[in-house]
Amino acid sequence: MNYLAIDASTEACSVALQITDTASNSKVYSRYDLCPQSHSLQLLPMVDAVLKEADIKLSQCDGLIFGRGPGSFTGVRIGVGVAQGLAFAADLPVVGVSSLQAMAQLAFIKHQQTHVLAAIDARMSEVYNGYFILDENNIMQAQQLVDQHSEAVTAPERLSDRLSNIITKPVYGAGTGWDAYSEQLSALKNNSGTPDILFPSAEAMLAIGSAAFKRGEGVAAEDAQPVYVRDTVSWKKLPGR
């Protein structure tokens, strides 16, 4: 099966294409760039580049995988919009993948980590977060925590309480939240310093998305949905306003 994955949910912008031949041999073509303000300009050229490198057309893919968030509101919208446009054009089913889960999957791919706490700086003194454990199919799966949600936006000083029903010792940390709130969060992770994995990647999303397609979870392009986690934004007045 051939799958195209795209992600623009954070400062990173990435595309990955997995091609599988008749002998079930897979090859991956990918592009990755840190371009916080240029996702809308970079994403489609990246898609064109991997398709040309693999010498296939978009219509020869079997499905499209997209980063559904959480992350930057603008980036998530760009990623979902591009995914819908491409999927409509080529009549492809789509699967959305959590940006938090993608970072956890990358930690397994790169470092064989099986228990990962992913935390993205959500601004406004909060972090998007989720705790993931490797399943029997080598896919990192989100765990339901004390608040009955697998992913949430949480004040850093309250994250330990959210994890209290499942984590009894520090685990591997991934994401930008660890540096942004190091004083509040550092005791929760066992890897020291700045995490090696700060952002999700489309390449890591291939494993998660292809497994979802095999389970029959692909949907039509019009049903592609972002996941913001934070549904409302509260604006605080500046002093003197």
Does residue 116 sit in the same domain as residue 162? yes
Question: What is the Cα–Cα distance from 161 to 96, expressed in whole angstroms?
Answer: 29
Does residue 55 sit in the same domain as residue 22? yes
> Hey, what amino acid is at 12?
A
pLDDT score of 37: 85
pLDDT score of 232: 54
Does residue 7 sit in the same domain as residue 94? yes
For residue 70, pLDDT beyond 60: yes
Residue 122 lies in a domain: yes
Q: Where does the pLDDT of residue 104 fall: very low under 50, low under 70, confident under 90, or very high at 90 and above?
A: very high
Residue 208 lies in a domain: yes
- Tell me which residue range forms the domain holding 45: 3-98+200-223
Question: What is the Cα–Cα distance from 38 to 116, expressed in whole angstroms?
Answer: 29
Question: What is the Cα–Cα distance from 201 to 99, expressed in whole angstroms?
Answer: 8
Residue 151 lies in a domain: yes
Q: Where does the pLDDT of residue 75 fall: very low under 50, low under 70, confident under 90, or very high at 90 and above?
A: very high
Where residue 12 sits, what CATH number does that domain have? 3.30.420.40
Does residue 122 sit in the same domain as residue 175? yes
For residue 68, pLDDT beyond 60: yes
Count how many domains the chain has: 2
**Arithmetic mean of pLDDT, 59-70:** 98
Does residue 145 sit in the same domain as residue 92? no
Does residue 62 sit in the same domain as residue 126? no
For residue 234, pLDDT beyond 70: no
**Arithmetic mean of pLDDT, 15-21:** 95
